[in-house]
Amino acid sequence: MLNRKTLVILLTIAILVASATTVIASSGRRNHKLPQANEQWEKLYEQASGLVIEALYSQDEFTRQQLLRQAIPVFEEALTLAPDEVNTWNNLAATLYLVGDKDNALKEYTALIQAHPEVSSAYLGRGHIYEEKGEIRKAIQDYNIYLHLIADRPGDVANQNRMETQKLIDDLKKELIRRR
């Protein structure tokens, strides 16, 4: 059975996977000098994303973990072709987290945040890792940044994300008080 945080991470990946190609195509970030690299990146990204989506729907934990582990080197290879592509980078970090490689996931999220501080989902993912490591203050800080970055997003999903994240922050603050 998936726990709540794992489900949130998987759903975040699924949303990023669904929107990434459209966002990249419309943003003009394609490298027109290297069309073959773009095509290869798209194939790799779609392959890795397909594995993650298949994992999302798998009812068997062993199969889910195998599929996620297969996606990691594919995301890594895609990043060699498009090292600044934030959705690929974020999905690599999230997938590392989901297979239990929290140290490398933390490194990837941190590097992504340093390069692209506007990527809200990276703060959410890194916040989960900090929370699990017991680094409550760092988790609260990342969750607050996440809330700030999504503050103006419209819609029910954004409202739900804000409410759930605020509840996480409130619960962590209570935990800090309890520890004193």
* Per-position pLDDT tens, the chain of length 180: 445 565 556 555 555 554 444 444 434 444 444 456 788 999 999 999 999 989 988 899 999 999 999 999 999 999 999 888 999 999 999 999 999 999 999 999 999 999 999 999 999 999 999 999 999 999 999 999 999 999 998 988 888 888 999 999 999 999 999 988
- Predicted model pTM: 0.81
For 4-179, CATH number?
Answer: 1.25.40.10
Residue 49 · residue 41 · CB < 8 Å = no
d(C-alpha 52, C-alpha 56), whole Å: 6
Domain residue ranges of the chain, discontinuous segments joined by +: 4-179
What pLDDT does 56 receive? 86
What pLDDT does 33 receive? 43
